[in-house]
Amino acid sequence: MSTGTTVAAPDAPTNKKIYVGNLGTNVTRDDLVNLFGLAATPYLKTSCTIEIATCEKTGKSKNFAFVNVPEHVHSELMKLNGIEFYGRQLVIEEAKTKDDEKNDENKENRNKQRPYNNNRRGRGGYNRNNGRGGNRYDQRKKYTVPAIEADQVFSLVDGGCNLTNPRFNQFIDYVIARALKGGIQKMVVTGLKMNGCKSAVVMSKTRPNILYAAVGIHPHFVKDDWTDKSLNQIEELVKDPCVVAIGECGLDFNKDYSPRELQETAFKEQINLAVRYKKTLLVHDRDAHQSILDILEPFTDALPPVIIHCFTGTKDQIKAYIDRGYYIGVTGYLCKEKYGGSLREAIKDGTLPLDKIIVQTNSPYMTPSVPQAEIDPISQTLLNSCCADNEPCTLSVIVRYIAKLISQEPSQVADVTTATAMKLFRFTKSEN
């Protein structure tokens, strides 16, 4: 006999709509599914929808889409705002409701009644891109491509550059074009943060055989980006063939932006990944040399190649790393008159052998600031071509500086360092 009581059905998961703008004209629904990982589980496949806006007359994309996802997925996708996808910086934000659109229309009508004031701060005012927080690009150099004689262009590999850095967002294709013109055939893009790692993978997939990804959480960011899910997320990225290294990970006891214990935990977990997948390990060391050695010691027999990324330490530390069989990442730090002395001395006297060097720009940082009295015309041309503080196209400046230190031809240094990079990152000649 019925009691007349009604049992409410369980609430269905709440979905939220996201606006994805600045899409390339040829981007498809499948592209977005792969980018956002919406086919990762049967649940996501059935609960997520994508609608690419198209012109009614031509059927062509209007370069934006709406993505409908469960609420818990929504918060993760919102973090991808600004990610680079097929050469464009995506705009990812909350989709507006009808009430939002009405409010915007009312605001626009009110603004039309106000006289224009060129001195107002904010959008369109004098404060935009000026002073602190402004764009550090020299806009006049956006289209600049270095003009170098063919016999002075060497085939090189940039073993670590930060192309996911926001300074490159608007000009990434020009940055890559300048690098290729300067002889940089391949670039390993470091992610540093979780979203940066995802972006590095996307960039590499959309520019095959030129860009490759290194995924890992930098010690500065483990306090924010190292969670229970982080290791699994990185491992999924590592499985992609375009990922050739784990890192930049390690210890930074100079800045101490993250608790040391957490830095060490994240470092050990990422070493385990490198061992498991046999991918080169990019290690960050700032004032943590002995701790780095101690943590790596138990993994000695199983370690893949280890590169001490963007080395800034002492000659004795170089010797200790070389004795372990590790490689040293040499950046524009070498050229800094005040700070690069130990590194220069180690290269000159053979403490750091040429075949143990991986050349890296670490751009947009570590500009190879060769003293004006020593710089050669080609190096000056490459530096003058940069739109940012530093770009991958300056890698040849570092190679030329190394050549002077050991009295060899730059082409010889290029051949040796490129061969080392090809071996460590497992690039094949057929990819060139």
Q: Which residue has the higher pLDDT, 225 or 132?
A: 225
Distance, in Å, from the CA atom of 187 to the CA atom of 161, rounded to the nearest integer, reads: 7
Check if the beta carbon of residue 207 is closer than 8 Å to that of residue 185. no
Average pLDDT, the chain: 86
- Per the DSSP assignment, residues forming a β-bridge with 19 are 66, 93
**pLDDT greater than 50 at residue 304:** yes
For residue 351, which phi and psi values (nearest 5 degrees)? -55, -40
Q: Which residue has the higher pLDDT, 11 or 261?
A: 261
Beta strand pairing call for 61-70 and 15-21: antiparallel
Distance, in Å, from the CA atom of 413 to the CA atom of 250, rounded to the nearest integer, reads: 28
**Average pLDDT score over residue span 192-214:** 95
Check if the beta carbon of residue 237 is closer than 8 Å to that of residue 197. yes
Lowest-confidence segment of 94-108, 135-149, 184-198, 200-214 by average pLDDT: 94-108
Structural fold of domain 15-96: Alpha-Beta Plaits (3.30.70)
**Average pLDDT score over residue span 7-12:** 46
What b/e string do you get for 375-401 counting C-beta neighbours within 10 Å, with b at 16 or more?
beebbebbbebbbbebbbbbbbbbbbb
Distance, in Å, from the CA atom of 410 to the CA atom of 213, rounded to the nearest integer, reads: 27
Nearest CA to 310 among 273, 262, 357?
357
Kind and range of the H or E run holding 404:
helix 395-405
Helix (H, G, I), strand (E, B) or coil at 368: coil
Q: Which residue has the higher pLDDT, 55 or 41?
A: 55
Q: What are 322-364's pLDDT values in tens digits?
A: 999 999 999 999 999 999 999 999 999 999 999 999 999 999 9
**pLDDT greater than 60 at residue 6:** no
Q: Is 215 exposed, middle or buried (0-12, 13-18, 19+ CB in 10 A)?
A: buried
**pLDDT greater than 80 at residue 58:** yes
Q: What are 132-152's pLDDT values in tens digits?
A: 333 455 666 667 788 899 999
Alpha helices in 140-259 (DSSP H): 172-181, 194-206, 222-225, 230-238
Confidence of residue 428 (pLDDT cuts 50, 70, 90): confident
Q: Which residue has the higher pLDDT, 173 or 57?
A: 173
Structural fold of domain 141-425: TIM Barrel (3.20.20)
Confidence of residue 431 (pLDDT cuts 50, 70, 90): very low
Distance, in Å, from the CA atom of 166 to the CA atom of 429, rounded to the nearest integer, reads: 32
**pLDDT greater than 70 at residue 191:** yes
Q: Which residue has the higher pLDDT, 73 or 205?
A: 205
* Residue-level pLDDT at 12: 53
Distance, in Å, from the CA atom of 395 to the CA atom of 406, rounded to the nearest integer, reads: 17
Share of the chain above pLDDT 90, in %: 66
* Residue-level pLDDT at 140: 60
**pLDDT greater than 50 at residue 383:** yes
* Residue-level pLDDT at 27: 87
Distance, in Å, from the CA atom of 187 to the CA atom of 375, rounded to the nearest integer, reads: 24
Distance, in Å, from the CA atom of 419 to the CA atom of 428, rounded to the nearest integer, reads: 10
Q: How is the chain split into domains, by residue range?
A: 15-96, 141-425
**Average pLDDT score over residue span 92-99:** 76
Check if the beta carbon of residue 156 is closer than 8 Å to that of residue 395. yes
Nearest CA to 325 among 362, 291, 296, 361?
296
For the record, the structure tokens of 252 come out as: 């930074």
Confidence of residue 181 (pLDDT cuts 50, 70, 90): very high
Q: Kindly report the number of other CB atoms within 10 A of residue 353's CB atom.
A: 13
Q: Which residue has the higher pLDDT, 147 or 400?
A: 400
Tokens 């699994």 appear where?
A: 232
Across the beta sheet with 15-21, the strand order is 49-54, 61-70, 15-21, 91-94
Distance, in Å, from the CA atom of 169 to the CA atom of 85, rounded to the nearest integer, reads: 10
For the record, the structure tokens of 94 come out as: 């909350």
**Average pLDDT score over residue span 367-396:** 94
* Residue-level pLDDT at 13: 61
Confidence of residue 429 (pLDDT cuts 50, 70, 90): low
**pLDDT greater than 50 at residue 121:** no
* Residue-level pLDDT at 143: 72
* Residue-level pLDDT at 98: 57
* Residue-level pLDDT at 126: 27
For the record, the structure tokens of 269 come out as: 């977990």
Distance, in Å, from the CA atom of 257 to the CA atom of 362, rounded to the nearest integer, reads: 20
Contacts of 66 (CB under 8 A, 6+ apart): 17, 18, 19, 20, 50, 51, 53, 95
Q: Is 134 exposed, middle or buried (0-12, 13-18, 19+ CB in 10 A)?
A: exposed
**CA 211 → CA 162, 172, 242, distances in Å?**
11, 12, 8
